[in-house]
Structure 1
Amino acid sequence: MHIDTAYEGPLGDYFADNATDGPYNAHTDRPALFALAGDVTGLRVLDVGCGAGHYIAELRTRGAAEVVGVEGSATLLRHARDRVGEDDAVTLHRHDLEEPLDFLPDDCFDLVVAALVHHHLEGRRQLLAEAHRVLLPGGALLLSTVHPTADWVWHGGSYFDEDRVETRFGDSGATHSYRRMTMQTFLGELLEAGFALERFVEPRATEAARRVDESRYLKTHRTPFFVAVRMRKGQ
C-alpha cells in the first residue's frame, strides 16, 4: 500500500517553523539523536526524511564532511535549501521514501540519520534494507520514532494494535497519519535488516524546552514520546 505522507503546503510550512524551536523536535528528538551520534567530524552522512534541514545544518556545524538529504516534500526541501544556503558539501534530493534509494551506491555513508520518519511509511523494511545497503561496513544508523507506549496512551485499544492512525499535528489544526507498532516490531525489524543494537534511549525534553512550552516539557517527563536507537552495520 502506497500512502503519500509528505508534509506539503501549509502543513510543511508549519512543520518547518515548529521544528526550529518546538519542544518535541528541537528539544527532545534532536538532542537525543546528536547525543547518540557523538563526534561526526569528517563523516559522510545520509539524512533520510531530512525535512526542513535542521539536522543537516547541525551536522555541518558539528563537522560532517558531506551530507546528503532525501525528502519527499517539495515544501520542506525549499525550507531545507534556505536553511543550508550555498553549501557545496550538502546535496538535496526529492524522492518518495516508499521507493528504493536506487540513486545511491552501496557502501558509501558512515552514518545514516532517520529522524521521526519511518513510522509514516508502509515500506519500513525496505527503507531499513536500503539504509543497511548504503552504509559502509561498521557504519551507524540513528533512528527515532514515536514511542509505542505513547501511541497506546493516545489512541487506546490494545498495545499490540499496529493500525494506521490519524493524529492532530500540534497547533496547526491539520492531521497526519502514521502506523503504530509495538517495541517488539520496532526493534525486530531493525535486527532483521542486519543491524546490531548499540544504544537505546527514551528521550525527554531538555531544560531549554521549559521556556518554549512548559506544559509540553512536562508531558515528555511523564509519558514517553519518542524512542531513539543507534544501530551498527557489521564489518
Structure 2
Amino acid sequence: MTSDNAYHGDVGDYFARLAGDSPYNAFTDRPAMLELAGEVAGLRLLDVGCGAGNYAAELLDRGARVMGIDGSATLLGHARDRVGDRAELRLHDLDTPLDFAADAAFDGAVCALVYHHIRERARLLAELRRVLRPGGWLVLSTSHPTSDWRHHGGSYYDESWVDFRLPDPSITVHLQRLTLETLVNEWLSAGFTLERLVEPRPLPRLREIDADRYERLTREPSFLAVRLRRPPGDS
C-alpha cells in the first residue's frame, strides 16, 4: 500500500484476515493471478504491495525467489509470520521510486489489487519497467471499472477518488475509479505490451462454501487482471 492508505494496526490485521480466505481474494483474484504468472520456478520476482504475504508464499512454494514490498508495517509483520526468512520483505511507499532495486533486477512482478490505490501510477509503471529485465513480465489486478460503477453510481466515466466501505462498516479504503480505456492506455503508454486480459471468476468450490457470493461473482465482475510484458528488445 501507499503511505496514505497503509493498513496500520487493527486495520492491517483485518486485511490480513480478509486476504487469507475471502471469496474475493482467495477464491477469485489470487487463482487468476497465479495462473497468469504461470511457471515461476527459478525466477526472481517482485511482489508489489505484498500485504500479508499470501502471494509471496504461493510463489515461493512454486520455486521462485521473492522480494515483497508494502507500505504497511502491520501487513509486513503478517507476511514475515507467513514466509519467515524465505523472502526479502521491505517497507516501501509505492508512490515513491523503487530506488532499492537495480535496473533489470527481476524476471517478473506481481501487483495484486493495489493499482487503484496508487496516485503516482505512471511513475510506478515506469519503475516496474525499469527493474524488470527486457522480456520480463508484470501480472496486475485491479478493481473492475464496472464494479466501481455499480457500487458508487453516477457516470461510468467519473474518475474521482472515492471511499469504499468494507464489510466491517468502521473501515474504508481510498481508491480511484478508473475506466477500462484509462487502464489499458496507462499500461500501453508505459511501454508494456498487453499479452492477456481476464475478468476473474471464482473457483467452483466456492459454491459449497458461500453460494450467494459464488453466484454474484460469476454474474458480476469484481476484478480485472492482465499479463503485461516489457518488450524483449527494450533498452
Both structures adopt the same fold (TM-score exceeding 0.5): yes
SS for the counterpart of 1:230 is strand
Looking at structure 2, the residues matched to 176 and 29 of structure 1 have their Cα atoms a distance apart, in angstroms, of: 18
Pairing 1:188-207 to 2, within 5 Å after superposition:
188-207=185-204
Distance apart, 1:3 and its partner CA: 6.5
Question: 1:20 is paired with a residue of what secondary structure?
Answer: helix
CA distance in 1, matches of 2:146, 2:176: 13
Residues paired across the two proteins, number: 231
- What is the CA distance between 1:5 and its match in structure 2? 0.6
The letter of the residue matching 2:229 is R
Task: Report the CA distance between 1:173 and its aligned residue.
Answer: 3.2
1:165-195 CA-to-partner distances (Å, cap 9, x unmatched) read 1111233631111001000100100000000
Matched, 1:229 2:226: yes
User: In 1, Cα distance between the equivalents of 2:129 and 2:10?
Assistant: 34
Q: Is the 8 A contact 2:8 2:73 kept in 1?
A: yes
Given that 2:107 and 2:133 are in contact with CA atoms closer than 8 Å, whether structure 1 keeps it comes out as yes
Aligned to 1:108: 105
Deviation at 1:31, TM superposition (A): 0.2
Partner of 1:81: 80
What one-letter code is carried by the residue in structure 2 that aligns with 1:35? E
- Residues of 2 paired with 1:22 and 1:226: CA distance? 14
TM-score normalized by structure 2? 0.95
Greater alpha carbon shift after TM alignment, 168-177 vs 147-156: 168-177
Residue number in structure 2 paired with 1:141: 138
Q: Which residue of 1 aligns with 2:118?
A: 121
Distance 2:53 2:62 in 1: 14
Q: Give the AA of the match of 1:169.
A: L
Mapped partners of 2:182, 2:203: distance in 1: 28
* Residue equivalent to 1:71: 70
User: Alpha-carbon deviations, 1:110-132, whole Å to 9, x = none?
Assistant: 11100000100111111111110
Q: Distance in 1 between matches of 2:135 and 2:161?
A: 34
How many Å separate the matches in 2 of 1:211 and 1:189? Answer: 38
Distance 1:75 1:3, change over 3 A: closer
Tell me the residue number matched to 2:23: 23
| TM value normalised by structure 1 | 0.95
Aligned counterpart, 1:35: 35
1:51 maps to what in 2?
Answer: 51
Encode CA deviations 1:76-127: one digit per residue, 9 max, x unaligned.
000000000132xx10000111111111111010111000001001111111
Amino acid at match of 2:31: P
